[in-house]
Amino acid sequence: MSDKPARAIKLNVINEPKENYKGGPSSLCPGCGHDQISNVIINAAWENGIEPHRIAKMSGIGCSSKTPAYYLGQSHGFNTVHGRMPSVTTGAYAINKDLLYLGVSGDGDSASIGIGQLIHAIRRNMDMVYIVENNGVYGLTKGQYSATADIGSKKKKGKANETQPIDLCALAINLGCTFVARSFSGSKKQLTSLIKAAMSHKGFALIDVISPCVTFNNNDESMRSYQYVKENEVTLHMADYIPHFEPVAEIEVPEGHFTDITLHDGSTIRLETISDSHDPSDSMAALTALHQAEVDKKHVTGLLYFDSSKPSLAEDLGLVSTPLLDVDASDLRPSEEMLKQMNSEFLGQ
Amino acid sequence: MDTIVNDFTINIATANGTGSQSANLILLQSLFDMGVPVSGKNLFPSNISGLPTWYIVRLSDKGYQAPGDRTHVQVLVNKATWAEDLASLEPGSVVIWNTDSKMPMDRTDVFSYPVPMTKLARSLSPKLAKLVTNIVYVGVLAELLGITDEALHKAVAGQFKGKASAIELNITALELGRNHARENFTKGDPYLVEERPIEQDRFFFEGNEAVALGCIFGGVQLLAWYPITPSSSLAEGIIGWIPRLRTNDEGEATCAVIQAEDELAAAGMVLGAGWAGGRGMTATSGPGISLMQEFIGLAYFAEIPSVFWDVNRVGPSTGLPTRTQQSDLAMLYEGSHGDTQHIVIMPGTVEECFEFGWRAFDISERFQTPVFGLSDLDLGMNRWACEGFTYPDTPMDRGKTIREQDVFEAMENFGRYRDLDGDGIPYRTLPGSGMAPILYRGTGHNPDGVYSEKPDDYFNLMTRLKDKINGARDVLPAPILREEVEGDIGVVYFGSMENTIQEIDDMLEATGIKVSQCRVRSLPIHSEVEAFIRRHKTTIVLEINRDGQLWGILRRELPNDIVGQVHSVAYSDGMPPRARIYADLILETIKEANQ
């Protein structure tokens, strides 16, 4: 026996150790931005005190979509088909609306093959967190440009991209998405706050995370390399997440200007102004910021747009309050008397 | 002249979008209420307004429900098909024609009844003349053929439930038509309708609506769909029943409905529902199934309960969207890439449409695999006589789904894809339960659901899946057999061909050939089908398609020693099956087989 006292294992608000939020070992390339995001997801879920088995991990196909194996090992997950994760999530949600649906996708998944499903999930304000691990290239098929590759950016092999990229955040804002953020896998603090806030949001929360591909798109001429993003990130604000179980009053009030946004579960995201103030309820300002960044060849990050006024899919479906999964068989199958009565009605009796 | 009673076909040629459908249904319903065995077929275009539509009403004391070989009574309203419709009539036919069409009526070898339909309709309501024209010809038909006012009025009341002004307008229009015929015509033709005693209470019902009601009684929890002819009325049927049958006093439903952005998304939602532990379904047609292929493979491989209804229309490609065919069978049976095999259930009557509607969910959850209901436009969108629906005789079968912690803990060696019972069907836990969570995937996996490329894991998985579906064979709806003692020739068929088989059988018998019948109701093939084939020297597989898809499946799956005695009769021109065509093809095939 060691003389040293056993170090107390740190527990979260529901007395779970962080260990219970981890997954299997990653098989991605060492240094991949996606692994950093996986770690942030683990931290966010643990610190938010979410029961791990009440999370459903959803993904499509691609490097990003493999990552659900690397976090939240106590959650069921579904690695579906390429670009179609939103529809599977929507179906699962209709049956069990009480789970937290955490979708992870990539730029191939979300901006190409699955862009239609992403758009319609946003349109329905489907209640889920949707993280895009966006690196501008297809990794698993060895480095083709994706639809988010920036104009003028050059990956490790081949010529520079000259095709207009799709900005998923701008797209989402135009579609009326109720939570739109951009972040960088290297900005751990900001990303953690944004993911936590997304988990507290009711409705569709899109977080487009620039996540450099160390193998195919991390060279000097790339606009999605670590170095480039680090040097060209324009941060809209400092983002701090204050969970509902910690009284806001006890949090140190920042010196400068800040805005508090109350989220669905009573948590708060505090946005501290850095230079110019950004109002996340102003979709025009958000679009302007995105456009300006594109012109300047910069990456703007932060909570771009937020709207808590729209009903989510749950209200639209008009279902009983119990998740359909737990509804009694007797409420699913009408009675024999009812069928008898209907037969009579059909006969005109 | 001898009269011809309850044994003729009426063809009504109109343009779509003119409201002829409600008039035609009144005609059909009134005949039905007089006890006359009658069937109606709507041949409509893929169009909203202005293209040719024919409504075919077959009266047959023998109960034949196919459209028949020829038209006996023609109603001509549509200018566009006037010449063609007129030219195709046999001498001695009846022609009731709209003189206001200003089209030539140049046949002298038919019984001609000119009616100023538009003028009569205008006299009643200038605004609604187009609509009223249709009910005027029903009035003329009623007078000429002998349809009672009692039956007509009942049918009108049923068609326009509670709408007093519509009922009044229609009854007045019927009178106009009837009076015109009474005052201007002397009946010269032989065609008459006679009342028949009603031995068994029956009502008219569409196949799609019956499937819809069946799904409601099957406890459907998610309908995800994308509109497509001819399946939309199935989905809309479910939507229509939810307020009454699946909604509580607070107005909250126990069935979710999502109109998806496309068929891919509809299929994805169905899988999501099945994965989460619910009963999800979609309704579509061939083109939709084509789009769903990727998800169908995922459902098979990841073993996700999911129900797909395919109301078959004419393919390939967009094909003839408003015509009927049995051409999706092969695609359903082996849907998606790689080695797959799916359960398909094929109703042939509206009663079965209801039964298979609820049963599909039980089968899908029992075998943790996609289940396809295969109907077609003819069965789905036409009205058929129905004796009433039978309540499910078994409680909902939720399959090997573990919901209780203690049950789970008592299990030994649990693995999501481990065959613990030797029937190929593994146990499953659900998302949110915390019990044995895994990451479901469409990639290769071992019995614990963990990614694996190991040869043994892949081989064993594929073998188990094959065994699992094989195990369903004799649990699925068994074939319906009608056997002759002679036992020389058997006819195997499926689905809506049920409504033509008796007429075909009588035609064959008239030539001295007695055949036994075997209606296949499920895939994979039930063992009784093989036994039936063995009991007959020659078996004909009768299908409404070009290639003989069921025949192809049988040829591949039957033991070699009997393959040679199975012959194909497959024919499709988009029309509902006409008995004569199939009877002649069967006779030809029997002749060839015996050579």
Same fold, B205-386 and B480-594: yes
Nearest to A95 by CA among A69, A56, A124: A56
Q: What is the pLDDT of residues B471-499, one digit of tens each?
A: 999 999 999 999 988 779 999 999 999 99
**Interface subset of B 26-55, CB within 8 angstroms of A:** none
Instruction: Write down the mean pLDDT value for chain A.
Output: 95
Q: Tell how strand A258-262 and strand A137-138 pair up.
A: unpaired
B353 to chain A, minimum CA–CA distance in Å?
Answer: 15
Note the pLDDT of residue B68.
86
Whether omega before B230 lies within 30 degrees of 0, making that bond cis, reads: yes
B245 touches chain A (CB under 8 A): yes
Q: Rounded to 10 degrees, what is the CA torsion of B124, B126, B130, B132?
A: -20
Nearest CA in chain B to A96: B276
Residue A1 has pLDDT above 60, yes or no: no
A299 bridge partner residues: A233
Residues of chain B positioned with their CB less than 8 A from the CB of A74: 434, 437
- H helical segments located in B375-496: 377-381, 405-410, 455-470
Q: For residue B306, give the nearest of B342, B333, B255, B258 by alpha carbon.
A: B342
In this complex, which of A96, A319, A334 lies closest to B216 when CB atoms are compared?
A: A334
Options 3.40.50.2300, 3.40.50.360, 3.40.50.970, 3.90.600.10; CATH of B205-386: 3.40.50.970
User: B305 CB near a chain A CB, below 8 Å?
Assistant: no
Bridge partners of B74, per DSSP, are B11, B95
What is the second-level CATH architecture of the domain B480-594?
A: 3-Layer(aba) Sandwich (3.40)
State residue A3's pLDDT score. 63
Instruction: Give the pLDDT score at A5.
Output: 66
B203 part of contact set with chain A, CB < 8 Å: yes
Nearest neighbour of B265 by CB, restricted to A120, A318, A338: A120
Find the CB nearest B432 among A84, A99, A332: A99
Domains of chain B, by residue range, sit at 4-192, 205-386, 400-477, 480-594
Q: Where are the alpha helices (DSSP H) in B277-370?
A: 286-302, 329-333, 350-367
Two structure tokens written together for B124: 């009643």
β-bridge mates for residue B162, sequence order: none
Query: pLDDT tens digit string along A260-314?
Result: 999 999 999 999 988 788 999 999 999 999 999 999 999 999 999 999 999 999 9
User: Is the minimum CB–CB distance between B198 and chain A shorter than 8 Å?
Assistant: no
Q: Residues of B with CB below 8 A from A51's CB?
A: 434
Tell me the shortest Cα–Cα distance from A169 to chain B, in angstroms.
21
Q: Do A94 and B272 touch (CB under 8 A)?
A: yes
Q: Which of A56, A317, A329 sits opposite B431 (nearest CB)?
A: A56
Say which of A84, A119, A325 has its CB closest to residue B276. A325
Chain A residues touching B430 at Cβ < 8 A: 76, 96, 325
Q: Classify residue B546 as exposed, middle or buried by CB count within 10 Å of its CB (0-12, 13-18, 19+).
A: middle
**pLDDT tens readout for residues B562-581:** 999 999 999 999 999 999 99
**Residue A206 · residue A122 · CB < 8 Å:** yes
Yes or no, beta carbons of A76 and B431 under 8 Å apart: yes
Q: How confident is the model at residue B306 (pLDDT cuts 50, 70, 90)?
A: very high
User: Residue B104: phi, psi to the nearest 5?
Assistant: -70, 140
Tell me if A103 sits within 8 A of A129, measured CB to CB.
yes
The alpha carbon of residue B389 is apart from the nearest alpha carbon of chain A, in Å, by 7
Amino acid identity of residue B380, one-letter, is: G
Q: Report the distance separating Cα B215 and Cα B224, nearest Å.
A: 13
Q: How far apart are CA B35 and CA B39, in angstroms?
A: 12
Would you state the structure tokens that stand for residue B193, as one six-digit string? 């309708």
Per-residue pLDDT reduced to its tens digit, A48-69: 999 999 999 999 999 999 999 9
| Rounded Cα gap, residues A162 and A151, in angstroms | 5
Query: Nearest to residue A78, comparing CAs of A63, A90, A88?
Result: A88
* Model pLDDT for residues B8-19, shown as the tens digit of each residue: 999 999 988 888
Nearest residue of B to residue A70, measured between CA atoms: B439
Q: Which residue of B has its CA nearest to A79?
A: B441
Could you give the count of Cα atoms lying within 13 Å of B575 in the half-sphere of its Cβ?
Answer: 15
CB proximity list for B367: less than 8 A, separation 6 or greater: B343, B399, B425, B468, B469, B471, B472
Contact between chains at A332 and B221 (C-beta distance less than 8 A): yes
Please tell me which residue of chain A has the smallest CA distance to B271. A88
Contact by Cβ (8 Å): B518, B532: yes
Residues A100, A50 contacting (CB under 8 angstroms): yes
**Would you call A346 and B203 a contact, using CB atoms and an 8 Å cutoff?**
yes
Alpha carbon distance, N-terminus to C-terminus of chain B? 45
- Residues B224-232 have a mean pLDDT of 98
Contact list in B for residue A125 (CB cut-off 8 A) is: none
User: Which of B158, B264, B437 lies closest to A76 in CB terms?
Assistant: B437
* Under 8 Å between Cβ of A217 and A135: yes
What pLDDT, on a 0 to 100 scale, did the predictor assign at position A346? 95
What is the C-alpha to C-alpha distance for residues B249 and B243, in angstroms, rounded to an integer? 10
B-chain residues within 8 Å CB-CB of A324?
Answer: 221-222, 254-256, 278
* Partner residue opposite A92 with nearest CB, options B213, B275, B438: B275
Strand order in the sheet with A258-262: A237-242, A268-273, A258-262
User: How sure is the predictor about B50, in pLDDT bands with cuts at 50, 70 and 90?
Assistant: confident
Contact by Cβ (8 Å): A156, A121: no
**pLDDT beyond 70 at A152:** yes
DSSP H/E element including B309: strand B306-314
Query: Count H helices, E strands: chain B?
Result: 20, 24
pTM value is 0.96
Counting Cα atoms < 13 Å in the Cβ hemisphere of B305 gives: 32
| Contact call for B277 and A68, based on CB within 8 A | no
Question: Strand pairing of B73-76 and B94-98?
Answer: parallel
User: Under an 8 A CB cutoff, do B245 and A334 touch?
Assistant: yes
- Architecture of the domain whose range is B4-192: 3-Layer(aba) Sandwich (3.40)
Quick check: B222 and A93 CB within 8 A?
no
Nearest of B383, B404, B582, B388 to residue B501 by alpha carbon: B582
The pLDDT of residue A2 is 54
Q: How is residue B556 written in tokens? A: 């591949």
Q: How far apart are CA B204 and CA B29, in angstroms?
A: 8
Question: Tokens at residue B73, please?
Answer: 């009574």
Strand extents, DSSP E, A222-331: 233-235, 237-242, 258-262, 268-273, 299-306
A88 CB neighbours in chain B (<8 A) are: 268-269, 271-272, 275
pLDDT digit string, tens, across residues A93-121: 999 999 999 999 999 999 999 999 999 99
Among candidates A88, A324, A338 on the partner chain, residue whose Cβ is nearest the Cβ of B278? A324
Residues B205, B209, B213, CA angle at the centre, nearest 5°?
Answer: 110
Q: Side chain identity at A130, as an amino acid letter?
A: Y
Closest CA to A217 of A228, A208, A209, A232: A228
Q: Provide the CA A212 distance to its chain's centre, in angstroms.
A: 17
What is the four-CA torsion angle of A53, A54, A60, A65, rounded to 10 degrees?
-50
Residue with tokens 């009692």: B150
| Residue A317 confidence (pLDDT) | 96
Q: Which amino acid is at B143?
A: E
Task: Count how many pairs of residues, chain A against chain B, have C-beta atoms within 8 Å.
Answer: 211
Contacts of B298 in chain A (CB under 8 A): 80-81
**How far is A196 from chain B, CA to nearest CA, in Å?**
20
Q: Is the confidence at residue A248, as pLDDT, over 80?
A: no
Contacts of residue A331, defined as CB under 8 A and 6 or more positions apart, other chains included, come to A320, B248, B254
Residue B579 C-alpha, separation from nearest chain A C-alpha, in angstroms: 30
Which residues on neighbouring strands pair with residue A100, listed in sequence order? Answer: A55
Does A74 score more than 60 pLDDT? yes
Q: Give the chain A residue whose CA is nearest to the CA of B430.
A: A76
Q: What value does the mean pLDDT take over residues B274-283?
A: 98
Q: Which domains does chain A have, with CATH numbers?
A: 18-324 (3.40.50.970)
* Mean pLDDT, chain B, whole residue set: 96
Q: Please indicate whether, in this complex, the C-beta atoms of A94 and B254 are within 8 angstroms of each other.
A: no
pLDDT at residue A277, rounded to an integer: 86
**pLDDT tens for each residue of B527-575:** 999 999 999 999 999 999 999 999 999 999 999 999 999 999 999 999 9
**Where is pLDDT greater, at A124 or A246?**
A124
Angular region, B17: left φ>0, alpha ψ -120 to 50, beta rest = left
As given in the structure block, the two tokens for residue A336 are 């024999």
| The CA-based dihedral angle spanning residues B354, B357, B358, B362, taken in that order and rounded to the nearest 10 degrees | 140
A91 contacts B224? CB cut-off 8 A: yes
Q: Does the structure show a pLDDT above 80 at B214? A: yes
In the prediction, which pLDDT does B69 show? 87
* Whole-number Å distance between alpha carbons of B442 and B453: 12
Residue B39: Cβ-neighbour burial (10 angstroms; 0-12, 13-18, 19+): buried
Residues A136, A213 contacting (CB under 8 angstroms):
yes
